[in-house]
Amino acid sequence: MRKPGDAVPAFSLPASDGRTVSDVGLRGQRYVLYFYPKDDTPGCTKEACSFRDNLPAFGGMGVPVFGVSADSEAAHRKFVLKYGLNFPLLADPDRKLIEPIGAWVEKSMYGRSYMGIARCTFIVGADGRIEQVWEKVSPEGHAAEVLAALGGKAAPATPAAAKKPAAKAKPAAKKVAPKKVAPKKAVAKKTVAKKAVAKKAVAKKTVAKKAVAKKAAAKGRRR
């Protein structure tokens, strides 16, 4: 792995923001290169969000930050969008920078050895030479370490998670007007009136029947 005082390897890599970033283009300013194993994995997400939250402090000192992994440009863009990363990620699937700088190392897990990307960080000076190296990085709070080395102050830590959309407000329930109920007295009056009308009608019919019967009887007597 390259040490302080060594020249940064020559590189020209596509970035997640669509541009090409090279050592030549960055000459004349200090910058940070941090290498990580894979997009959208727990440790790499914590580390990326730590740099995201502290980027204003890096920017205030005129020090850009670049994350580097062997992931594709498409994978980088998804990672950036998911977590709102505000700095470029450099795609190095052919390990053109990862290997020369010494970040491609032998690892072991569950007794099995394999080659992979070491989680490491470099501060590169304006002259293109490495100023400081972190060979073994703990993702949690690493950006604060780098910022302190540059003489800056870290921002308060925030959870490494995508922002959830605000919950939609439930529509207010429609008010249903209560049904008008007629007063009991009014109902009683109507009932009495109906009964009176019916009684009169029956009485009239009865009187009419009696009159007809009386006339019929009178005619019978005359005969």
Q: Return the pLDDT at 30.
A: 97
CATH class of the region 12-150:
alpha beta
> What is the per-residue burial (b if ≥16 Cβ within 10 Å, else e) of 3-25?
eeeeebeebebbbbeeeebebee
Where are the chain's structural domains?
12-150, 180-223
- 174 CB contacts (<8 Å, ≥6 apart)? none
Tokens of 223: 């005969």
- Encode pLDDT of 14-29 as tens digits: 999 999 999 999 999 9
CA atoms within 13 A on the CB side of 48: 30
- Compute, in degrees rounded to 10, the torsion defined by CA atoms 145, 147, 152, 158: -80
Q: Return the pLDDT at 222.
A: 53
Residues marked as catalytic: 44
Q: What is the pLDDT along the chain (223 residues), one digit of tens a residue?
A: 999 999 999 999 999 999 999 999 999 999 999 999 999 999 999 999 999 999 999 999 999 999 999 999 999 999 999 999 999 999 999 999 999 999 999 988 888 998 999 999 999 999 999 999 999 899 988 999 999 999 877 766 555 554 444 444 455 555 555 555 555 555 556 665 666 666 666 666 666 666 666 665 556 555 4
DSSP string, 161-196: SPPPPPPPPPPPPPPPPPPP---HHHHHHHHHHHHH
Q: Is the dihedral of CA 200, 205, 208, 214 positive or negative?
A: negative
- Encode pLDDT of 51-62 as tens digits: 999 999 999 999
Tokens of 117: 């990307």
